[in-house]
Amino acid sequence: MSMMRQAISEHCQQQWDATIQPAAEGISPVRQRAWQRWQQQGLPTRHQESWKYTRAEQFFTEPLLNNALKKTSVLPQKTGNPVIADIKQLSASINLDLIDKVICPHANSVLLYCIDGQFYSDQTNTSLFGGLLGDVSDPSLFIPAQDLLDEDSDGFALLNLALSPETLQLSIPADSQLTLHIAYIAARAGWYQPSVRIHVQPGSQLTLLEHTISPADLSVSDSLWNSLTQLHVAPSAEVIYVNLNQCASSCQHVHQLLVDLDTSAQIQSWLAALGGNASRLQIIQRLAGRGSSATVNGLLLGQGQQHHDHRVVFRHLAEETKSYCLHKGLLAGKSKGVFNGRILMTPEAHQAEGNMYSRNMLLSQGSRMHTKPELEIYHDAVRCAHGATVGQLDRQALQYLCCRGIASESARQLLLAAFIQTLWQSLPKPLYEWLTQQVTPSFASVSEQMEAI
């Protein structure tokens, strides 16, 4: 074992010792099993296919390990307007007005903040927020033991299950419509492991935004977000999910999303990795109910020395299920991107359909993209397709625009914008405008690093 991996293991052991002391009366079986599995396998290695192009050690830095046990937040334990005032003082880069433009038009909306791993609410709709705190203690609703501790076991997810100080549990009322925005904000250096469980009850419609952002003054500090979100989508329920990573350049970001879809349940996901020094997002979706469907649209925008890794897994476990993934990468400078996709058609997936495509563009000689969409089929009566491309800006298309009086630089910007804008077009209009506004600065920065062709 390398010295770095040994140091990581030692710090994790210290955190586990600090975790079990306050809970001496009893540790949950899931937490115990996760820690035992972590001790057996440790951090992922490149021998694992899904980690072949990403070093797990790069998510830990020496300052981060030195501060790993610090749990002090910049905010006191309070809720309501005083917290909002404190958040506004953290940094001008946290523009609450942009969030409000998405949230406020909806009567049923809740805005939550996770500041340095602790959850807060502005409680603008107190009665609605209270209704969300339903009883989701039934372990059968969620699937950490099956999806994290078995074939898709992941060291970071195991750490979250074992070491997360508390889990935010929400239950969306049946036949309701709700917009929930969770803003993860790292205000100081540290290692944060928030955990969220959401039960979407039958017939309800949930729009869930998970937005990771750092204040501008966190330019010389290190932090690691190792977050885990679990969704149980009941029959005929619908979910729109958006995950936006805008961490500071000195931050590392690891996120796991587990989705369990019941009969006729649907989820549409949009992912955008823009910030952070290194990031990894893994989505495991179990299409366990007949007629359930899942769609993923993902984007990697890489610049400088950034490393972004997305992994998307669809498990078809029932009849007439459908999955679709379109993932795009736009990489400049010496950035690296990784996409690992997998569609599993089990023997029970009669008349199921799955499609997975990866489209990537390299804007400089030093950028790299590793992409691998794959199919694993154990049933004859299914329809599947997959494909991957890695290329550069189309010279003929660029020449066509220039011949019609468009400046070369403007023509490049138009082609790159068209390349990524197709991902967002199916979003509801308020979310489309908000996400476009968030992506535009990073897109402009990536475009500036594009080398001439």
C-alpha 210/C-alpha 259 separation (Å) is 15
**Of the candidates 376, 313, 324, 379, which has an alpha carbon nearest to the alpha carbon of residue 349?**
379
Q: What is the pLDDT of residue 338?
A: 97
Whole-model pTM: value is 0.90
Considering only 6-15, 61-70, 285-294, 322-331, which range has the smallest mean pLDDT?
61-70
**Cα Rg, the chain, nearest whole Å:** 22
Whether 69 has a pLDDT exceeding 50, the answer reads: no
Read off the pLDDT of residues 70-101 as tens digits, 9 standing for 90 and up. 444 444 444 444 555 555 555 444 555 555 55
Q: What is the pLDDT of residue 71?
A: 47
Calculate the alpha carbon distances from 191 to 67, 80, 105, 156, 195 in Å: 7, 25, 34, 12, 13
Q: What is the pLDDT of residue 83?
A: 52
**Of the candidates 230, 226, 212, which has an alpha carbon nearest to the alpha carbon of residue 170?**
230
C-alpha 300/C-alpha 175 separation (Å) is 35
Considering only 85-99, 157-171, 336-350, 355-369, which range has the smallest mean pLDDT?
85-99
Q: What is the pLDDT of residue 74?
A: 47
Mean pLDDT taken over the chain: 82
Grade residue 198 by pLDDT with cuts at 50, 70 and 90.
very high
Report the Cα 271 to chain-centroid distance in Å: 7
DSSP-derived pairing of the beta strands 118-121 and 109-115:
antiparallel
Q: Where are the beta strands (DSSP E) in 248-352?
A: 251-261, 266-273, 278-287, 293-302, 307-316, 322-331, 336-345
Contact 208, 237 (CB under 8 A): no
Q: What is the pLDDT of residue 92?
A: 45
Q: Which residues contact 386 (CB under 8 A, 6 or more apart)?
A: 341, 343, 355, 356, 357, 373, 374, 375
Q: Where are the beta strands (DSSP E) in 303-403?
A: 307-316, 322-331, 336-345, 353-362, 368-377, 383-391
Q: Percentage helix, strand, coil, to 5, in the chain?
A: 30, 35, 35
**Of the candidates 341, 270, 330, 340, which has an alpha carbon nearest to the alpha carbon of residue 306?**
330
Q: What is the pLDDT of residue 285?
A: 94
C-alpha 281/C-alpha 339 separation (Å) is 10
Read off the pLDDT of residues 219-231 as tens digits, 9 standing for 90 and up. 445 788 999 999 9
More confident residue, 186 or 122: 186
More confident residue, 27 or 429: 429
Q: What is the pLDDT of residue 145?
A: 44
* Mean pLDDT, residues 256-267 taken together: 95
Q: What is the pLDDT of residue 201?
A: 92
More confident residue, 371 or 153: 371
Whether 323 has a pLDDT exceeding 90, the answer reads: yes
Read off the pLDDT of residues 391-429 as tens digits, 9 standing for 90 and up. 988 888 888 888 888 887 788 888 888 888 888 888 888
> By three-state DSSP, how is residue 150 classified?
coil
Contact 225, 253 (CB under 8 A): yes
**Of the candidates 300, 296, 373, 381, which has an alpha carbon nearest to the alpha carbon of residue 335?**
300
* Mean pLDDT, residues 298-318 taken together: 94
Alpha helices in 201-333 (DSSP H): none
More confident residue, 2 or 85: 2
Whether 322 has a pLDDT exceeding 70, the answer reads: yes
